[in-house]
Amino acid sequence: MLTARDIMTPNAECIGEHDSLTEAAQKLRDLGVGSMPICGEDNRLKGMLTDRDIVVGCVAAGRDPDKTPAGDFGGEKPVTIGADDSIDEAIKTMQEHQVRRLPVIDGHELVGMVAQADIARSIPEDKVGELVKLVSW
């Protein structure tokens, strides 16, 4: 049985909860991603931040991204998957919460990220279309 740990992208980078949204946007750009975890000073996952959060929740709302901390976003408890959970559990979680990326947690530590594409590369080709349909809204 393949697990989240087997297919995840390891060493996921976080944005600190006190880092500005400008810093977060630069990090998203540099990493070539559209979302990233927000981590607290205790190194625990506090939420997820998306490029859309920055644009719609900050810039379009007239807030200053240089003065707005990342921790102001990603408010509710983030949807995660355990490192030793199965791919089927990851698919079920993505479908249930309509997300395409899941932070992978081992205990309380962020150890990686699983994206829809990671799962697609790990399942039989005839199942990929079904996966995309399940987590697309």
Residue spans of the chain under pLDDT 50: none
CATH number assigned to the domain covering 4-135: 3.10.580.10
Global confidence as pTM: 0.82
Tokens of 6: 């087997």
Q: Give me the residue spans of the domains in the chain.
A: 4-135
C-alpha 116/C-alpha 94 separation (Å) is 8
Cα–Cα–Cα angle for 100, 14, 24, rounded to 5 degrees: 90
> In this predicted structure, what is the pLDDT of residue 134?
60
> In this predicted structure, what is the pLDDT of residue 135?
57
> In this predicted structure, what is the pLDDT of residue 122?
83
> In this predicted structure, what is the pLDDT of residue 112?
93
> In this predicted structure, what is the pLDDT of residue 127?
63
